[in-house]
């Protein structure tokens, strides 16, 4: 079983990496980009029977800094 966890900075938290990417895209001639938010994707290969609640606990304890980041879990097959 696979779970995909997408971690992003919460709305309102400054994203310096995203801003650097937006600026670089503008410098390369891609002027239509008004904002960039950068995050991370974590793919977990899980043993059968691992629950979404367990993955949530992983996120809360290690995978995301819940003070400034939010996360989304997609439990796949």
Helix ranges restricted to H, the chain: 16-27, 52-58
Give residue 77's pLDDT.
Answer: 55
Percent of the chain with pLDDT over 90: 96
Which pLDDT score is estimated for 76?
83
Between CA 47 and CA 53, with CA 50 as vertex, the angle to 5 degrees is 155
Mean per-residue pLDDT for 55-76?
97
Q: What is the pTM of this model?
A: 0.87
**Assigned CATH topology for domain 2-75:** Mth169; Chain: A , (3.30.1280)
Instruction: List the chain domain ranges.
Output: 2-75
Residues ≥6 apart with Cβ < 8 Å to 76: 1, 2, 3, 4
Q: Average pLDDT in the 45-50 region? A: 95
Among the listed residues 38, 42, 40, the one whose alpha carbon sits nearest the alpha carbon of residue 17? 38
């Amino acid at each position: 079983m696979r779970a995909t966890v997408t971690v992003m900075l919460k709305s309102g938290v400054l994203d310096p990496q995203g801003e650097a990417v937006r600026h670089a895209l503008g410098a390369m001639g891609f002027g239509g980009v008004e904002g960039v938010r950068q995050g991370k994707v974590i793919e977990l290969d899980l043993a059968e029977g691992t629950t979404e609640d367990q993955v949530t606990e992983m996120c809360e304890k290690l995978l995301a800094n819940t003070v400034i980041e939010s996360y989304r879990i997609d439990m796949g097959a």
